[in-house]
């Protein structure tokens, strides 16, 4: 039987309801960091598979070709995720540095509303 943080027993229905609510509350940054960790594990698995293919190259040379393609594809995916994480972190840092007053002052300097009214 599952338990909550306080140690109270939960029904399976309540457990999955809370789990779903928690999953829905994950931020994009948390999702990307999880994807980055999973992609690292995939890269390690592909590299270990390539090592084993080179050890048994007489019978597994064709698997090495497939794994080499997967290594390139997964490597590019890993770099993409790293870039997305950096972009989101930069956005968060910039938005924390800029206060609401500064944002409104910039808007006023640009002329206020876009429709021509001041």
Residues 6+ apart with CB under 8 A from 4: 10, 18
CA distances (Å), origin 87, targets 32, 33, 46, 101, 104:
11, 13, 27, 24, 24
Is the overall model pTM greater than 0.85, yes or no? no
pLDDT, tens digit (0-9, with 9 covering 90-100), for 7-30: 888 889 998 998 888 888 888 899
Extents of the domains making up the chain = 27-109
In this model, does residue 117 exceed pLDDT 60? no
In this model, does residue 32 exceed pLDDT 90? yes
Place of tokens 């007489």: 58
Under 8 Å between Cβ of 67 and 54: no
In this model, does residue 84 exceed pLDDT 80? yes
Q: Residue 87 class from Cβ within 10 Å (0-12 exposed, 13-18 middle, 19+ buried)?
A: exposed
Tokens for 105, please give them.
């002052």
Tokens for 104, please give them.
């409104």
């Amino acid at each position: 039987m599952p338990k909550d943080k306080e140690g109270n027993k939960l029904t399976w229905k309540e457990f999955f309801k809370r789990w779903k609510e928690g999953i829905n509350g994950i931020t994009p940054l948390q999702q990307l960091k999880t994807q980055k960790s999973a992609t690292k594990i995939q890269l390690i698995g592909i590299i270990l598979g390539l090592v084993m293919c080179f050890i048994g190259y007489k019978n597994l040379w064709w698997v090495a070709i497939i794994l080499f393609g997967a290594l390139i594809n997964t490597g590019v995916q890993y770099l993409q995720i790293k870039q997305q994480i950096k972009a989101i972190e930069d956005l968060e840092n910039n938005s924390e540095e800029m206060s609401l007053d500064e944002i409104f002052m910039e808007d006023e300097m640009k002329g206020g509303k876009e429709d021509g009214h001041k």
